[in-house]
């Protein structure tokens, strides 16, 4: 439960997903010190562990995707961040883009959120939100390059 609730950040009475994403930043700063293969290896472990962690917490709570479960936000944010433009604003871009896609849930994110259940369902919509944020980050970086 401690991991599912993002070290307690998911207990925030207001915007637990946003607070959970904020709590993921210090860990991301540590992860950035690693080589790319090690970074992605740990993110993959976090995804696989997250399926179990989130699914187990949801079962204990009796709620499919309780708002306090924020491990999925941690992982989605970590997926998005390496693709943000390398400038002083990259953290803000990554945070804002990930939260936008996680909140708005454009297709297929919203569909995945409704149709895929259990720990995989809890994780999958945030993984895809992270990938969408990453794609926009690459686009921003490309435009900045021009």
**Residue ranges of the domains in the chain?**
6-145
Answer for the pair 61, 4: CB distance below 8 angstroms, yes or no: no
Phi and psi angles of residue 34, each rounded to the nearest 5 degrees, phi first: -90, 160
* pLDDT of the residue at 132: 98
pLDDT tens readout for residues 29-70? 999 999 999 999 999 999 999 999 999 999 999 998 899 999
Round to the nearest angstrom and report the end-to-end CA distance of the chain.
46
pLDDT tens readout for residues 104-127? 999 999 999 999 999 999 999 999
């Amino acid at each position: 439960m401690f991991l599912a609730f993002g070290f307690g950040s998911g207990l925030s009475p207001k915007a637990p997903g946003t607070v959970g994403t904020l709590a993921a930043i210090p860990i991301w700063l540590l992860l950035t010190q690693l080589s790319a293969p090690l970074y992605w290896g740990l993110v993959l472990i976090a995804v696989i562990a997250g399926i179990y962690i989130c699914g187990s917490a949801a079962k204990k709570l009796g709620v499919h995707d309780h708002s306090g479960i924020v491990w999925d936000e941690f992982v989605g944010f970590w997926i998005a961040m390496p693709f943000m433009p390398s400038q002083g604003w990259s953290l803000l871009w990554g945070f804002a883009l990930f939260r936008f896609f996680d909140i708005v849930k454009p297709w297929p994110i919203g569909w995945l959120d409704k149709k895929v259940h259990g720990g995989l369902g809890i994780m999958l919509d945030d993984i895809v939100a992270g990938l969408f944020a990453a794609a926009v980050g690459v686009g921003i970086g490309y435009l900045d390059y021009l």
